[in-house]
Amino acid sequence: MSADHIPGISRRQALRLGLALGVAGPLAAACGGGGFSTSGGGGGDGQLTFMSTQFTPVEEKERFRKILADAFPGPVNYVTNEPGPFATQVRSQVSAGRVEINLLGGIHGDLAPLADGQLEDLTDLVGELSGKGYAEDFLQLARAGTDRTWYVPWAQATYVLAAKKSTLEYLPSGADVNDLTYDQFLSWAQAAAQASGAPQLGLPAGPKGLLHRFLQGYLYPSFTGRQVTAFRSDEAVTMWEYLKELWAVTAPSSTNVDFMQEPLAAGQVTMAWDHVARLVNAPGDAPDEWIMVPAPKGPEGRGYMAVLLGLAIPKGAPDQDRTKELIKALSDARTQAEVLRQNAFFPTVEGDVPSDLPPAIQLEADAVAAQAGSADALVALPPVGLGTRDGEMSKIFKDSFTAIVLQNQDIRATLDAQGAIMQTLLDDAKVPCWAPDEVKAGETCKVG
Amino acid sequence: MTAARVERRRLPLPFLLLLPSAVFMLLLFGWPLFMGLLEAFRGPDGFTTAHWERMAGEPRFWEAVRNTLLLTAVVIPIQFVLALTMAMLLQAKPRGAGFYFYVWAVPLAISDLAAGLVWLAIFTDLGYLNSTLVNLGFVEQGIAWLNYQNPLSLFMTVVVAEVWRATSLVLIIVVAGMQAIPKDYDEAAQVFGASFWKRLWHVTLPLLRPSLQVALILRTILAFEAFAVAQALTGRNFPLLVGETYEWSVGLQNPAVASAVALVVLGMSMVVAVIYLRALRQPDSVRDAR
Amino acid sequence: MSAPAVTPSTVDTSVALPPVDRAPLRRLRRRRVLLQAACVLVTLFMGLPVYLIALAAFSSRATLNEFPKSLLPTGFSVDTLSSFLSSSGVVAAFLNSVVVGLATLVLALLIGAPAGYAVARFAFRGRDTYQLMLLITRALPIVVLSVPLAQLFLTAGLYDSILAVTLVHSALALPTTVLITASVFVSVPRDLEEAAQVFGCTRAQAFRRIVAPMALPGIAAASIFTFVLSWNEVLAAAILTLNNRTLPAQVLTSLADSPIAYRFAGGFALVLPALLFILLMRRYLLNMWGSTLR
């Protein structure tokens, strides 16, 4: 390889490389460093930016943009973000004093941590909308442990059971699938596992799964009647023993499942508990083969948890009057019914349920109504007033599950250890208990 | 030696060359970095180590440290042997080498998320691996590779996925480095009858040292950063440090502890980088000889 | 998997060989077969997952739920892929990503390659320190910097622009660019450079005529890393933009909650441009190995 030979070939190639790279500069310059608008709002001034953690899948996002366009006359950019970047964007914009987002949409767990000074006080707006018939529980959540209201209840959801109709033959005799007890539920899962030779039940125990809500909102209330104040009680120990039995007939692959609809649709499991929005795609083309039923009941009642979506305005956001108009438009009963029909989240305002629901959503709507309407229903709320430390409460339940059920550690010792962490958390936040625990205003909740 | 002294007298040039990058990094990352570091030590009443105690008091943290080190220690040697083998195979100029190289470089283009997705689709109970085993009649039902009760198979799936995902990085650096090695050396050694292994050990590897050093540093640092694929495959059962950073930062909304965990990752990376820089330093005499 | 290094001069088997001793030829053939076998084996391992992503992206939802699954395309469908590609904002996000990727490439090379040369060629005090400082940006999980970083760009008035994303991506890519180019500059024989200077080139000319062409593979390798990094980077893009998003910020974030078929379709659609880029860059990377590799 002679030295004078190499540059000859390579210079041409270098030139071509340089040319290719050189395209980037003008391109970047051409769009002024700003970029191409990706939010589907059409661009231009006067449009509102609506950032949300909900309806992120492509299809749901498209459908919701349509709903928005029909409900509100002005242009709205609907932008989605994962919860992490969502919080980052709000916090950095508010603290830099340059807020560019007009409206926020998210679950209670996304919005409540921002009530530490990142949100506008919406007490007056909620007062104006009070005729819509919001549930008192929801308004309490929206206050996030203060006496002001920080977000407007936007939509709701809950968790139910989904199962293949073919599993009904394993139902213990005399059991009503719409009114199961946890013991019958266990026998059902055991019989199904025995018949097929493999566990048939799935629980969302993956990293983003909502299994902790099964503990907080379903098992604890149903077995102990409470959530925090009975965390270490004897009833709680019984409950954990029950869960270990249930886990024995639960597919072990549940530990990396976030959305039960996938293993259900794939036939990996045939019965599961999960969030309605995470079950809705399971029936697919064959809704006739599926049932959706209320969660079982325990000795203390049928514990269930509501998921609340809210709308909030970041502190110092521009154009707040028009944003409030947008909130009102989204609080219209017809708009919310449309969200149910297309994206499977239930209304928070009173109104008629549309009669033309898609089959899978109809299955859910019936199960949800049966669950909330059952005589022994016991509503549990997600933690109220913990703010930024909301996630730590979830972690306590997840860690307890890992220790007791997956690692087979001593129940009592685990509950004592995790209970101590929980107490520290409650003391730091100085919050009173929330439903189903007895609410005593001004008194810090005590782990029992 | 003389050459080095000559360069020292002309100090401005190297600094002129370094200046843009240093200024750029400082402007962009200086302030955020400072704020991020500060966060780990700042409490409501000034300086505090509470966040560090919080972090260390968490059993999952130590599990994550162990897993991160273990995974790195297992994956990196495999990757280097594999990448070197692949580079040697290419150097032997098999028919279709261009195609082979392309396919071997392709995992580089796959994002963490897609990589986690596809390996989950392979290893899951009803996945491609079990499908193939069943189709071939090796097993009647699939094997539960990802069962949390089999830590070994769980770990092995993560190792396989990580080896796949990041070997290309080493391969490309090594191949780029090999390009610059004058063929004369290897050919001369061959003329003198040196065996393949001798040539590899005494000619190729020493000449590749700068590339291997860079590949090692980058690969180790990036290995400490890995978590998305492991999380997709194992759920919460194989915590890694950066995954814990995300958990603290996003799930638990506690930027202070997240910063503390991030600083641990940073510390580990820096220690390793210093070791590599020292241990694999190109002696100046060698540099000048060429 | 030992790799026999065969010299190019002995490769050409079409040349008639003297019939005296057939053993070396047989040995050579056996080596060729082994070499191919090894290459195919590695290719299967490296290529299979990519094939599976493509397979799943073109499968109907029902096919994805079958068991045992076929490794051959059976239920062909472009439903998920097309609904994915036709969603609003995808084209704009694609263009943003291309611009950000290429601009990042140029910026990182302009700033990084000179530094790489300095690190390779000059023995100066603080060289290791400089390299370590560079690495800090890669070694610190960027998630903990997200709030201050976003604040910085908000204050600078660059928020929600692809320029902001380009700057952050360039900073993230700088360590790889500097280190990889340095590793290649080191290998360019100094004698050549000095010889050029002896023959009357200035230092700059010697660099341009001799060093730069020989370092092209390293520059190509660094470019691949830079572009791919920028192409797949989600977090910075997600916290710095709202209405002018790149493809990963627009799409990857929506994948996590999507049904499995969409995740594959999205993953596949995202991979394609990066694959094309590597294909283009490959020739520069394999610059020196002669025509057989093209």
* Mean pLDDT value of segment C6-17: 52
Size of the B and C interface in Cβ pairs below 8 Å: 360
How far apart are the C-alpha atoms of A349 and A181, rounded to whole Å? 31
- pLDDT beyond 80 at B74: yes
The residue ranking higher by pLDDT, C247 or A246, is: A246
Hey, what are C113's tokens?
A: 């390659």
* Among the partner residues A391, A392, A402, nearest to B236 by beta-carbon distance: A402
C76, two tokens: 């062909």
Q: Please report, as a single letter, which amino acid is at residue A356.
A: D
Q: Is residue A154 within 8 Å of residue A348, measured between CB atoms?
A: yes
- pLDDT at position B4: 45
ipTM of the complex: 0.87
Under the banding of pLDDT at 50, 70 and 90, the label for residue B179 is confident
From C161, C166, C253, residue closest to A81, measured CB to CB: C253
pLDDT, one tens digit per residue, over A195-234 is 999 999 999 999 889 999 999 999 999 999 999 999 999 9
Is B263 exposed, middle or buried (CB count within 10 Å of its CB: 0-12, 13-18, 19+)? Answer: buried
Between CA A350 and CA A342 the distance in angstroms is: 18
* pLDDT exceeds cutoff 50 at C291: no
Residue among A83, A256, A392 whose CB faces B250 most closely = A83
- Determine if the peptide bond prior to A382 is cis (ω within 30°): no
Cα–Cα distance measured from residue C292 to residue B168, given in angstroms and rounded to the nearest whole number? 21
Please tell me which residue, C96 or C270, carries the higher pLDDT value.
C96
Flag if B17 and C114 touch (Cβ within 8 Å).
yes
Residues A238-272 as b or e (16 or more Cβ within 10 Å = b): ebbebbeebbebbbbbbbbbbbbbbbbbbebbbbb
pLDDT at C287: 62
Q: Kindly indicate the confidence band of residue A319, based on its pLDDT and cuts at 50, 70 and 90.
A: very high
Residue pLDDT, tens place only, A113-161: 999 899 999 999 999 998 999 999 899 999 988 899 999 999 999 999 9
Hey, is the C-beta of C126 within 8 angstroms of any chain B C-beta? no
Q: Which of residues 141-170 of C touch B (CB under 8 A)?
A: 141, 143-149, 152, 167-168, 170
Average confidence (pLDDT) over A64-82: 92
Query: What is the rounded average pLDDT of the residues B49-56?
Result: 92
Q: Are strands A302-312 and A377-380 parallel, antiparallel or unpaired?
A: parallel
pLDDT tens readout for residues C65-122: 888 888 888 878 888 888 778 877 888 899 999 999 999 999 999 999 999 999 988 8
What does the pLDDT read at residue B288? 43
pLDDT at C9 > cutoff 80 = no
Full 3-state SS string of chain A: CCCCHHHHHHHHHHHHHHHHHHCHHHHHHHCCCCCCCCCCCCCCCCCEEEEECCCCCHHHHHHHHHHHHHHCCCCEEEEECCHHHHHHHHHHHHHHCCCCCCEEEEEHHHHHHHHCCCECCCHHHHHHCHHHCCCHHHHHHHHCCCCCCCCEEEEEEEEEEEEEHHHHHHCCCCCCHHHCEHHHHHHHHHHHHHHHCCCCEECCCCCCCCHHHHHHHHHHHHHHCCCCCCCCCHHHHHHHHHHHHHHHCECHHHHHCCCCHHHHHHCCCCEEEEEHHHCCCCCCCCHHHEEEECCCEECCEEEEEEEEEEEECECCCCCHHHHHHHHHHHCCHHHHHHHHHHHCCEECCCCCCCCCCCHHHHHHHHHHHHHHHCCCEEEECCCCCCHHHHHHHHHHHHHHHHHHHHCCCCHHHHHHHHHHHHHHHHHHHCCCCCCCCCCCCCCCCCCC
Among A34-43, A67-76, A348-357, which stretch is predicted with the lowest mean pLDDT?
Answer: A34-43
CA–CA separation, B209 vs B143, rounded Å? 42
Coil vs helix vs strand at C242 = coil
Higher-pLDDT residue of A442, A305: A305
Question: Which pLDDT band, with edges at 50, 70 and 90, does A44 fall under?
Answer: low
Q: What is the model's pLDDT at position C207? A: 81
pLDDT-based confidence at residue C290 (cuts at 50, 70, 90): very low
Interface of C with B in 16-55 (CB under 8 A): 32, 35-36, 38-39, 42-43, 45-47, 49-50, 52-53
CA of B57, closest CA in chain C: separation in Å? 20
The minimal CB distance from B253 to the residues A1, A253, A391 is found for A391
Under an 8 A CB cutoff, do B20 and C215 touch?
no
Q: What is the mean pLDDT of residues C50-58?
A: 91
Question: Taking a C-beta distance cutoff of 8 angstroms, is the pair B123, B233 a contact?
Answer: yes
Q: pLDDT, tens digit, for every residue of A270-286?
A: 999 999 999 998 998 88
| Strands A103-107 and A302-312, sheet pairing | antiparallel
Q: Which of C86, C152, C235, C257 to mutate to test the interface with A (most CBs of A within 10 A)?
A: C257
For residues B1 and C53, the model is more confident at C53
> How many CB pairs below 8 A link A and C?
197
Q: Does residue C182 surpass a pLDDT of 70?
A: yes
- For chain B, what is the mean pLDDT? 87
Contact A96 C260 (CB under 8 A): no
Q: How far apart are CA A63 and CA A52, in angstroms?
A: 14
pLDDT-derived band at A241, boundaries 50, 70, 90: very high
Contact B228, B115 (CB under 8 A): yes
Structure tokens at C28: 């050579």
Q: Which chains touch A (3 or more CB pairs under 8 A)?
A: B, C
Cα dihedral C116, C118, C122, C127 sign? negative
In angstroms, the separation between the Cα of residue C187 and the nearest Cα of chain B is 6
Q: Is residue C252 scored above 60 in pLDDT?
A: yes
A285 part of contact set with chain C, CB < 8 Å = yes
In Å, what is the CA distance from B167 to each residue of A228, B106, B111, B206? 48, 10, 14, 21
Tell me which amino acid residue A431 is.
Answer: V
- The answer on pLDDT for C6 being more than 50 is no
Q: Quick one: pLDDT band at residue C16, thresholds 50, 70, 90? A: low
pLDDT at C18: 63
CB-based contacts of A381, cutoff 8 Å, min separation 6: A137, A140, A141, A305, A306, A434, A435
Residue B97, amino acid:
A
Q: Do C210 and A3 touch (CB under 8 A)?
A: yes
pLDDT surpasses 90 at C198: no
- CA B36/CA C148 separation, integer angstroms: 7
- A169 exposure class (CB count in 10 Å sphere: 0-12, 13-18, 19+): exposed
Q: Determine the pLDDT at residue A402.
A: 94
Average pLDDT for residues B251-259, to the nearest whole number? 90
C-beta of residue C108 within 8 angstroms of C-beta of residue C173: yes
The secondary element (H helix, E strand) that includes residue B47 is strand B46-47
The mean pLDDT of A410-424, rounded to a whole number, is 95
| Residue in the structure block whose two tokens are 């003329």 | B191
Predicted confidence at residue A216, as pLDDT, reads 96
Give the mean pLDDT of chain C.
84
The B residues from 33 to 62 touching A (CB cutoff 8 Å) are 60
pLDDT at A2: 37
Q: Which chains touch C (3 or more CB pairs under 8 A)?
A: A, B
Residue A398 in contact with partner chain B when CB distance is under 8 A: yes
CB burial of B189-218 (b: ≥16 within 10 Å; e: otherwise) equals beeeebebeebbeebbeebbbbbbbbbbbb
pLDDT at A30: 43
Q: What is the pLDDT of residue A7?
A: 37
Q: Is A42 on the interface with C (CB under 8 A)?
A: no
- Give the pLDDT score at C15: 60
C162, C241 Cβ separation under 8 angstroms: yes
Decide: residue B43, CB within 10 A, 0-12 exposed, 13-18 middle, 19+ buried.
Answer: exposed
pLDDT above 60: residue C11: no
Do A266 and C219 count as a contact with CB atoms less than 8 A apart?
Answer: no
Average pLDDT of the residues in C34-53: 94
Tell if the CB–CB gap between A256 and B233 is shorter than 8 Å: yes
Q: Please determine, for residue C20, whether its predicted confidence score (pLDDT) is greater than 80.
A: no
- Binned at pLDDT 50, 70 and 90, residue A42 comes out as very low
Do C150 and A267 make contact, defined as CB atoms within 8 angstroms? Answer: no
pLDDT of amino acid C80? 82
The reply to whether residue A84 touches residue B250, judged by beta carbons under 8 angstroms, is: yes
Closest C-chain CA to A96: C151
pTM for the model stands at: 0.87
pLDDT for B263 equals: 93
